[in-house]
Structure 1
Amino acid sequence: MSELVDYAQRELELIGADDEMQQEMNKDIMQIVKDFAGQEHSGFSAGYALNALERLLSFLPLTPLTGEPEEWNEVGNGTWQNKRCSRVFKDADGTAHDIEAVVVSYDDGKNWNYPKHWHQISFPYRPPVNPQEIKLPASEDPHRAEAEK
């Protein structure tokens, strides 16, 4: 076996397989690791493949969105959704937003929420794999004000 397969097996054993779902997940993950190891990537090609796989498996485009008309489906009331990245929307006035680009925490990172106001974008746009994390004081939490009413 390869070093990668051995490493993955040891790591998965550390998290355990207490239930049927985790056993199935470990089996599926090991199959992917074995397939990847069998491709014998170099350091460069492995990084390239991992980057592309992470984006594709997350339903994110490999190249920047263009904002061109053919990238959009109208989903109602002057709102358009991007065909290549379903988390990107455009309003009737042409303003585009990525509804998952930013997350906000009001409790020092214990909980994360998407903000009420979406992240405005311009094109070309390459959606990030991970959202930008913004920590704000609890006093700015809009839900806190509602709860105190």
Structure 2
Amino acid sequence: MTNTKSHAQLEFDILQSTIPDAAILPFKNEILALCDKFGQSGQSGGSAPYTACVISKAVELLLLQQPICEITGHESEWVNVSDLGNELLYQNKRCSALFKNGDGTCSYVDAIVWKGEEEWDTFTGSVYVDNNSWELIRSKQNVKFPFKPKTFYVDVVRVPISKQEAENNNLHYIEGSDRECYYTVLKDPKQLDEVFEYYNKRVC
């Protein structure tokens, strides 16, 4: 039976002859070196699939400049980006969507993504919890350390409203390209229960 590197070399030879512009070919030597290391690591039939999955996921995260272990919140992980605004602000070096404010609170920009009724309709920002309290909930939520980035998808619905009525009631509304206005409200507020088990609720 061929070893891991020999198998990978054969596959690359076939790939290069059939798809010479394949995206992974420029990384051929590095991938072969990884396959060689893996093949020499003494993996068994039971451990090989698990280890291969762990390695591939780590490589994916690193290539996308994402953390491969929990973020500690240690002072060494932050860089001052106060020049982006008027207040003291730090950005995490390991997770670009994680920020620390001057009061020490840390928030993750993509904690919640709102999911509309159409498949294409996903967005971040602020929506209302219901039509009674008019409480706004933001996509950005405060984190607990150690922290692993996690995004929750929460269902919302659009409620049509006239621009005049929205402005008279000081509501957070959207005006579409067709000049129609609406505000967005949670479809099921209970979906936030899971969110706030993971995140500390941020007050708008």
TM-score, length-scaled by structure 2? 0.51
* 2:105 alignment counterpart: 95
| Counterpart for residue 136 of structure 1 | 156
Does structure 1 residue 59 correspond to structure 2 residue 65?
Answer: yes
**Aligned residues: percent identity?**
23
Q: Which residue of 2 aligns with 1:20?
A: none
Alignment of 1:2-41 (within 5 A): 5=11, 24=21, 27-29=22-24, 35=31, 39=35
Deviations 1:38-65 (A, max 9, x none): 7175212211111211221221111211
Matched, 1:125 2:147: yes
Closer/same/farther in 2, CA of residues 127 and 33 from structure 1, 3 Å limit: farther
Partner of 2:122: helix, strand, or coil?
Answer: coil
User: CA 1:119–1:44 in structure 2 vs 1: closer, same or farther (change >3 Å)?
Assistant: same
Counterpart-to-counterpart distance in 2, 1:36 and 1:133: 38
Distance 1:115 1:2, change over 3 A: farther
Greater RCO (Cα-Cα under 8 Å, separation 6 or more): 1
AA aligned opposite 1:122: K
- Structure having the higher strand fraction is 2
- Contact 1:60–1:127 (CA<8 Å) still a contact in 2? no
Looking at CA atoms only, which structure, 1 or 2, has the larger radius of gyration? Answer: 2
Q: Unmatched 5+ residue regions in structure 1?
A: 18-22
Aligned partner letter, 1:97: S
Separation in 1, partners of 2:70, 2:64: 15
- Describe the shift of the 1:71–1:46 C-alpha distance in structure 2 as closer, same or farther (beyond 3 A): same
Q: Which residue of 2 aligns with 1:109?
A: 119
Stretches (4+) displaced over 6 A = none
2:53 matched to which residue of 1?
Answer: 47
- The CA deviation string for residues 12-48 of structure 1, in whole angstroms up to 9 with x for no partner, is x9xxx9xxxxx95xx1135658936971752122111
Distance 1:109 1:36, change over 3 A: farther
Secondary structure of the residue aligned to 1:85 is: coil
CA deviation map 1:93-129 (0-9, x unaligned): 111111123211223432221224212211110124x
Instruction: Name structure 2 gaps, 5 residues minimum.
Output: 1-5, 39-47, 127-137, 161-171, 176-180, 183-204
The equivalent of 1:86 in structure 2 is 96
| Paired positions, count | 129
d(CA) in 2 for partners of 1:81 and 1:138? 33
